[in-house]
Structure 1
């Protein structure tokens, strides 16, 4: 099965390819097929994922997989949330986004820095699929006071998993993929796909 990933994010593509490696599904980035990013005009993660998947499927004629995800910080009433990738203004500027998040949490003690990553995955079998597959996953943790680790992408250097005692950027990729919000959502998607087969 060939799917178009409704994203141009290289880190996300690598992560999802790793998670799908044992399924026989070939994942192709929309940018490799000349598709520009869709305008994310939704007000929820689910709406944005549907918009992105429909756009990629319409442009390519392929089934499309879209992910919309972000980090939600308790002390900031769930921000940056839907705007995680463009929190500091420019889309996908991870360093500036992290700087802005750390500034927003300046003076907030560790026990009040609870946060979770959230991911929704939408699979459209075709652009007008009336029954998209929709799954979600969450990863609970807290925001560190400073960056730790060099792996991962996005907010990984400041997201701490207390169960493992590491930031997401310090974890081996296979371990992170198993416990992450995206890993959990993809595991749920695999189960749904198997049920359809």
Structure 2
């Protein structure tokens, strides 16, 4: 079962998300939060696999809450706001995925499953915005992280992340268990001081150019 926490300040929206997610046989909604601060408190205590997080919430917004949840749970941003800045800020904060609220129910459930597997996900409708925003915020070459701390296998995994492969695809390509790939990804993020596999993939693409 995938343990899910839902954070949204609109009670009706939360109720709808709970209804959709509770109807899936492999998902269990373990908590609901009405703002970012409550989401951080509940996630720290309940340890869900995925937090479904709105951006605009009182007390603590979804992006600030996502930063605080690094290493606690994977965050899937679900919002009505698809601006360039929101997309970039959410992923920079460590979000594992970004979807708009007009996503249909089945796509939402599959997105939760994708993030729970350790893969990243970005709504196709905001991918172009992300690429444009990243181009404007591209760090200078001198800011590139030192890759010498990575093992040869971790470097292979990083390169494949840059090619857009999922954990399952990387496992097949390198002849290893999917759980082992997930461990390698976690070590890459730790060694390179990155918040999410999406950031790792962007880094890998940048280094290959």
Q: Same fold (TM over 0.5)?
A: no
More helix by share: 2
TM-score, normalised with respect to structure 1: 0.31
Greater RCO structure (CA 8 Å; 6+ sep): 1
TM-score by length of 2: 0.30
